[in-house]
Structure 1
Amino acid sequence: MKMTFNIKTDSILFKHTIYIIAVLALITKPINTNAQTNLSLKEAVETGIKNNLGIQASELESKMHNQLTRSAFEVPKTELSGTFGQINSNAKDKNLGVSQSFNPFQYGAKKKWLNENNVAGQLKVKATQQDITFNIRQAWNTMLFYTKQNQLLNQQNLLMEKFVRSASLKFQTGESNSLEKTIAIAKQQELQQLIKQNEAKLWVEKSKIKTLINRDTDFSPADTVFAPMVTLAVADSSRLKQNSNLQLAAQQIQIAEAAKKVEKSAFFPDITAGYAIQSITGTQEINGQSVDYDNALRFQTFSVGIAIPIFAGSTIAKTKAAQSNIEMQQKNAAYVESQLRSQFQQQFEELKTYQSLVDYYQGTALPNAKKISTNATKAYQNGDISYVEYVQSIETALTIRLNYSNAILNYNQTAITIQYLIHQ
């Protein structure tokens, strides 16, 4: 009996010990670092500009162009030469020389060309940042749109749940047939499918944002208010000059002009300067006296020469091609500006149209939707209207609210496009 008592006591103690260890393990378990965090649009844009891989690539390209500006004064390789043997007589002599060629007319032109490419690299960074900001804003606005759509659909689903319960109760009490109950269930299931579709679309937009800002963990929007944005009051197309893509197109003209000067610098001669020292073994007359010299290096010479481009056909062709490139870049810059101006005017006209539509919904349609929904619910509960009229009424109210959120989506997307065009 004593042995049995000890085993039982030990077993109880063991179980209590295990229980305490399990509780301590749950208490001391590290917090999940992958928990969702709140993120605002401003933070998303700032994170995107900092972490986006496309921007980082353009920054590295800009860094490369900046580093290349130091390569303008590129001097050709220095030539070292040696001659050995019977240079001046039967005696064995040697001649050592060094020469250097360069084109002083080319360095300034090449420096200018590299500097213009460096400016273009910086503008490309700005243009990439502008594109990423635009894409983040568009995806963020669409994300809020689907969030709002789901809110409206879930509110409608609550109404349909009450309708299903009411229809089921009427069917059980014999006040209605099974058709009313079937329609109620079908309408609710249809709503639930729409909610699932919206949730999938919402996930897609959040995934876009995570890719744009180079983020692995999930997030929740800090502010889910979906309302029309504050935009410009007047169409000021002069602000298009701030658009980075237009500035980059204009910079391509500067690069092309600088490249032409580099090609033209090839028409100027190359200059060569040299120095040599040699031995002349034998007897030489110096100041009227005969002097015997061994084969030691002692006699020095200096040389200067120029290389003239006599056969300049290739350089002429390259210069003409460079001029054609200038004209092409000028046409392209004019085309980009024309496109931006046209797009700006179109977007501004669309903005006014969507503004009018938003005003209509805020002033007339939404108040009517609220009245329709409230009155239809009361009337159906009191038995004043049929289930068909009730379903039609609340669906009409829902359609108005959904169309209003669609109007906000279109208004905001247009406003974001205008912000992109004027680099705001």
Structure 2
Amino acid sequence: MLLMNDNTSFTIPKMDCVELMISNQPLRMNPGVQYKELVSRIHENQLKVEKSLLLPDITISLYNGTNKFPNSKNYLGYEIGFSIPILFSGQKAKIKSDKISISIAENDKEDLQRKLKFKREELMNEIKKLRESLNYFTSTGIKLSAEISQNAETDYQAAKIDLFQYVQSIENAITIEIEYLDWLSKYNNVVLELNYLAL
């Protein structure tokens, strides 16, 4: 309180450590997969543009002309045009290139999905292993820690153990709690990695 120049007392609220929930988001919702899907659609649209350039082009324009001289009149006019592509070889090469780009983009997307699926399976297996350790601590370890602390307290109060044995018992109880928190931290880190899956 002296360091804060304030006489009001404060307490830090106790926060329970909780296990994070696993999100079962489908792989197609992964940002990497969505990006690959977007790249594939861009190449498909590019292919449509290149194919449309093979079609005849019709142009219609209307214009209004005049000159700078006094008492000049407005001249209305129109123009109609029809163009037919004659040389297709360059355009066909671009179309072929776009088809290959689409194929590459689709293969990249499928490869990413396979890798993400494999990574997800690895993380799920790791979560199962960590879950077993957490189950031990929640079913046995925490109760054992509380029991050790309580027995040490009562035995010390009854003078059955000396201060050294009391401190050693409390240290053992705290070590069990720290191990639980360590396993919980590992579990939560793997769950976060799974929920925000990236390569």
* Common fold by TM > 0.5: yes
The correspondence for 1:227, drawn from 6, 12, 18, is: 18
Corresponding residue for residue 365 of structure 1: 141
Q: Residue 315 of structure 1 corresponds to which residue in structure 2?
A: 91
Q: Does 1:271 align with 2:58?
A: yes
From the two aligned structures, give the one with the greater helix fraction.
Answer: 1
Partner Cα separation in structure 2 for residue 272 and residue 327 of structure 1: 35
Equivalent in the alignment of 2:125: 349
- CA displacement 1:235-259 (0-9 Å, x = unmatched): x79x434445434433432221121
Distance 1:332 1:415 in 2: 26
Instruction: Return closer, same or farther for 1:326/1:276 CA change in 2, 3 Å cut-off.
Output: closer
Alpha-carbon distance between aligned partners in 1 of 2:77 and 2:135, rounded to the nearest angstrom: 91
SS at match of 1:227: coil
Structure 1 residue aligned with 2:185 = 409
> Deviations along 1:40-96, whole A, 9 cap, x unmatched?
xxxxxxxxxxxxxxxxxxxxxxxxxxxxxxxxxxxxxxxxxxxxxxxxxxxxxxxxx
For CA contacts below 8 A with separation 6 or more, give which structure has more relative contact order. Answer: 2
Identity, in percent, stands at 27
Q: For residues 124 and 18 of structure 2, what CA distance do their matches in structure 1 show?
A: 19
User: What do the CA deviations read for 1:124-177 (whole angstroms, capped 9, x no partner)?
Assistant: xxxxxxxxxxxxxxxxxxxxxxx99xx6xxxxxxxxxxxxxxxxxxxxxxxxxx
* Structure whose alpha-carbon radius of gyration is higher: 1
Q: After TM superposition, give the deviation of residue 275 of structure 1 in Å.
A: 6.9
State the secondary structure of the residue aligned to 1:263: helix
Mapping for residues 73-222 of structure 1, pairs under 5 Å: none
AA matched with 1:256: H
The residue aligned with 1:63 is none
Per the alignment, residue 394 of structure 1 pairs with 170
Structure 2 residues not aligned, in runs of 5+: 1-11, 65-71
Aligned-partner Cα distance in 1 for 2:27–2:21: 19
Query: How big is the shift at 1:383?
Result: 6.2
Letter in 2 for 1:306: F
Q: Structure 2: how far apart are the matches of 1:392 and 1:265?
A: 82
Provide the rounded CA distance (Å) in 2 between the counterparts of 1:400 and 1:348: 25
| Structure 1 runs not aligned, ≥5 long | 1-146, 152-223, 278-295
- 1:361 Cα deviation (Å)? 0.5
Cα displacement string for residues 96-126 of structure 1 (whole angstroms, at most 9, x for unaligned residues): xxxxxxxxxxxxxxxxxxxxxxxxxxxxxxx
Question: Which SS does the other structure have where 1:267 is aligned?
Answer: coil
Relative to the length of structure 1, the TM-score reads 0.35
CA distance in 2 between counterparts of 1:330 and 1:370 reads 57
User: What's the secondary structure of 1:228's corresponding residue?
Assistant: coil
